[in-house]
Amino acid sequence: NYTTDTKSRKENKKTLENLYSLSVDITKIRRLKEWVLLQDVAFVKEIADILQEMGADETTVASIIERCPEAILHTPAEINSQRALWQLVCQNEKQLIKLIEQFPESFFTTEYQQNKKANILFFQELGLKNNIITRFLTSAPNIFYNPVEKNKNVIETLQRNYLNLGGSEANMKIWILKLLSQNPFILLNTSTAIQENLEFLQKNYFTDQEVLQLLSKLKGFIFQLNSTTMQKSMLFSKNIFKCSDKELKQLVLKCPALLYYSVTVLEERLEGLLKEGISIAQIRETPMVLELTTQIVQYRIKKLSALGYDIKSGNLESLNGTKKDFEVTYGKIQSKKERPIFNPVAPLHIED
């Protein structure tokens, strides 16, 4: 816990000298986290030596410290311990230093060492590849702060439910690993919340097979929801599309976003589509269009309109998909429009 009282304290002269000797841009640190420069103790040279030992050049060391100044407040012992931990999943120190350069804050968070190590070993036992675990360390570090028992409990709940829903033992490991790699944050949920959400779907007449289908489509995001928000979103969709419970279920299976997004988000996206002249009937036919933000929809409609494609009278499928999917669709429409009206393979009559 470092002080932030900048008025009553002066910058540490020795820290400044050591940073200058490493060609670190001090003004960046003052702008970003000036409080680091006020601390009585800093390990500038020691941390720089450890980074250089791992293969970082002077420019890389300076860049790391500028972006994560609190790195210099950790003891060499803490950093060496973190280094050993990350080496459990890194191929070599070259890869490790590259990760530190890209994600310095993740590396220089040195708390929960025992939990981190136990979780790394658990993920390896589970069958997750090291490159996936390194991705977790950099993009979802807080899942490692949990005691390993908590993470094991969540995984066991998922495994048990997968089998109860009719999933096979043979496919369970692949399913779990895929779910985790797509959304590691499911580990931040409690086993109880996971159980409640699955029961909510079953109470709303989704068959076991359909629940499994939704879990795969939602990439685990369903576990970050609660029954109240799901109920509200489903009721909103039912009223907007004027459909029966059975029809609503089919719409949700087609577009899980109707379950996942809040009423506020769904309202905003519907409004954006209606402003473009798209009808409720068209949206009901292709509900997946609600997975896109209003800005993306407007951009895609504008691009298609420039080709003379009238979205109001056509199918909304052309708007759907990822950026790559849309570019493929757009390319097909464009080439169709530019296709010459003459027959390119017809013989040419040339006089002798």
DSSP 168-200: -HHHHHHHHHHHHHH-GGGGGS-HHHHHHHHHH
- pLDDT value, residue 45: 97
Could you tell me the CA-to-CA distances from 38 to 3, 9, 41, 344 in Å, in that order? Answer: 8, 6, 9, 76
d(CA 263, CA 269): 10
For residue 205, pLDDT beyond 50: yes
152/123 Cα distance (integer angstroms)? 9
Q: For the CA atoms of 97, 99, 104, 106, what is the dihedral angle to 10 degrees?
A: -130
Q: Which of 191, 187, 159 is nearest to 175 (CA)?
A: 159
What number is the average pLDDT over the span 121-131?
96
Residue 48 has pLDDT above 90, yes or no: yes
Beta carbons of 117 and 88 less than 8 angstroms apart: yes
- According to DSSP, residue 162 is labeled H
Question: Quick one: pLDDT at residue 153?
Answer: 94
Q: Give CA–CA dist 317/198, Å, rounded.
A: 30
3-state secondary structure of 297: helix
Q: pLDDT grade, residue 189 (50/70/90)? A: confident
Q: What is the pLDDT of residue 20?
A: 96
Q: Which token pair is 161?
A: 């439910």
Other Cβ atoms closer than 10 A to 9: 14
Q: What is the per-residue pLDDT for 310?
A: 84
Which tens digit of pLDDT belongs to each residue from 135-175? 999 999 999 999 999 999 999 999 999 999 999 998 999 99
Q: Which tokens hold the place of 319?
A: 């708007």
Q: What would the DSSP string read from start to end of 3-60? A: ----SS----HHHHHHHHHTT--HHHHHHHHGGGGG-S---HHHHHHHHHHTT--HHH
Positive or negative CA dihedral for 2, 4, 10, 15? positive
Give residue 1's pLDDT band: very low, low, confident or very high (50, 70, 90).
very low
Structure tokens at 78: 């803490």
DSSP structural state of residue 347:
P
Q: Is residue 289 predicted with pLDDT exceeding 60?
A: yes
The Cα 101–Cα 94 span in angstroms is 11
| CA count, 13 A, side-chain hemisphere, 116 | 24
For residue 5, pLDDT beyond 90: no
Compute, in degrees rounded to 10, the torsion defined by CA atoms 180, 186, 190, 195.
Answer: -80
**Would the pLDDT of 4 be above 60?**
no
Mean pLDDT across the chain, nearest whole number? Answer: 89
Average pLDDT over every residue of 10-18: 95
Give the separation between CA 43 and CA 58, rounded to whole angstroms. 16
Closest of 32, 50, 153 to residue 107, by C-alpha: 50
User: Region 327-339: what's the mean pLDDT?
Assistant: 81
Provide, rounded to the nearest whole percent, the portion of the chain with pLDDT above 90. Answer: 66
Lowest mean pLDDT among 237-246, 250-259, 308-317: 308-317
Identity (one letter) of the amino acid at 267? E
pLDDT at position 336, please?
78
**Which range, 73-82, 209-218, 295-304, is most confident?**
73-82
Residue 352 has pLDDT above 50, yes or no: no
| Least confident interval from 34-48, 213-227, 277-291 | 213-227
pLDDT of residue 351: 45
pLDDT of residue 21: 96
pLDDT, position 350: 46
